[in-house]
Amino acid sequence: MHPVPQSSEPGFNGTDPAGTGETAADPALRPLLSFLRRPLFATSPPGRLTVWRWLGWMCLLILLAYLSGSLNQMLVHAFHWPVPARTASGQFLTHPSWAAVAIMLVAPALEELGFRAFLSTAPAFVFTGLTFFLGYGYLLIQAEITPMSAAMPPAAVFARYFQSFWVFLPAGAVSLLLYRYRRDAVLGFFRRRAGWVFWTSCILFGAAHTSLYVNHLVWWGFVLVLPQFLLGLGLAYLRASFGLRWSIASHYAIDIPSVLGTWLYLTASPSGLLHKGLLFTVSAAGLLIVAYGLVVLARVARRSW
């Protein structure tokens, strides 16, 4: 049995300084900045997240993604990086198709299982997550070795996406063997090296999205995934602090509205009412996101979130 590391922060050792009746014996309840300095995993995240507070996290993540995306544009123009007008993933996500809908319905959940399920010390989450993580690691390497062409039709992208999932069978076998013969060693590693596990998860999640910007392996493609890295960072914190269901819900809340909104905007007539309505809706939502995102950012800076 491995002891959970302790901290001198208020509320960390089971105290309740706010008088709320809740204890914070679990390290996952620490504010974001404190958590990032020293990530620690719990057997079961005890944090209770209200919908309003969850919306605050969403606004902050979207705001950071937008700001980092703007920085990307500045870097591309400053260094003249040859970002292609069309990438395979960009083509797929901006052109409505049933194939894209099918992948969008499963991809956020699968990515959360692959990159964040194991941010825990509970054996069921660790070893299930390792199965998907090993599988996604292989898919990431395969995508860099044999990248998709921007001219590939959505059906071909769909087929390639799901045909690659055979790798989860051997990955599951490896995870099962680790559970059977090295369970305590693996769980001990996740307790002692939580920081390494956490940051590796965030970095690889960002790296897996290079195909949004480039069609082949180039070093600056990894610079351009800063928005995805920051989103992954926030999702990883939500998963470790409040549970996998919240990171999955957050991933869907970010991905699906943005893709559906893009589809509607691209297919609407520029002079039509739908086009104007979308512009108004997006502008109003953007103002609300910025406003609440800045409020949450200030709270994070004060280490109250």
3-state secondary structure string across 253-287: HHHHHHHHHHHHHHHCCCCCHHHHHHHHHHHHHHH
pLDDT at residue 225, as a whole number: 95
Print burial letters for 43-52: b (CB count within 10 Å at least 16), e (below 16). eebbbebeee
DSSP 118: T
Question: What's the whole-number mean pLDDT along residues 265-292?
Answer: 89
- Higher pLDDT pick, 54 / 5: 54
Cα–Cα distance measured from residue 202 to residue 121, given in angstroms and rounded to the nearest whole number = 18
Name the 3-class secondary structure at 124. Answer: helix
DSSP states of 82-114 as a string?
---S--HHHHHHHS--HHHHHHHHHHHHHHHHH
At 220-249, the pLDDT tens digits run: 999 999 999 999 999 999 999 999 999 999
- 292 close to 53: Cβ distance less than 8 angstroms: no
- 196 close to 212: Cβ distance less than 8 angstroms: no
pLDDT at residue 146, as a whole number: 75
Question: What's the whole-number mean pLDDT along residues 127-132?
Answer: 95
The confidence band for 18, taking pLDDT boundaries of 50, 70 and 90, is very low
> ∠ CA 99-249-21 to the nearest 5 degrees?
175
- 185 close to 130: Cβ distance less than 8 angstroms: no
Cα–Cα distance measured from residue 35 to residue 26, given in angstroms and rounded to the nearest whole number = 11
Cα–Cα distance measured from residue 13 to residue 154, given in angstroms and rounded to the nearest whole number = 52
Contacts of residue 128, defined as CB under 8 A and 6 or more positions apart, other chains included, come to 113, 117, 118, 175
Question: What's the whole-number mean pLDDT along residues 154-173?
Answer: 84
Cα–Cα distance measured from residue 69 to residue 60, given in angstroms and rounded to the nearest whole number = 14
- Higher pLDDT pick, 45 / 125: 125
pLDDT at residue 52, as a whole number: 94
Question: What's the whole-number mean pLDDT along residues 132-149?
Answer: 81
Q: Would the pLDDT of 78 be above 50? A: yes
The confidence band for 294, taking pLDDT boundaries of 50, 70 and 90, is very high
Query: Which amino acid, residue 225?
Result: V
Q: Would the pLDDT of 173 be above 90? A: yes
The confidence band for 28, taking pLDDT boundaries of 50, 70 and 90, is low
Average pLDDT, the chain: 86
Question: What's the whole-number mean pLDDT along residues 82-95?
Answer: 84
At 203-228, the pLDDT tens digits run: 999 998 998 898 888 899 999 999 99
Cα–Cα distance measured from residue 205 to residue 154, given in angstroms and rounded to the nearest whole number = 23
pLDDT at residue 216, as a whole number: 80
Structure tokens at 68: 């980092």
Question: What's the sign of the alpha-carbon dihedral 218, 219, 224, 227?
Answer: positive
Q: State CA 175 to chain mean position distance.
A: 22
Q: What percent of the chain has pLDDT over 90?
A: 58
pLDDT at residue 55, as a whole number: 97
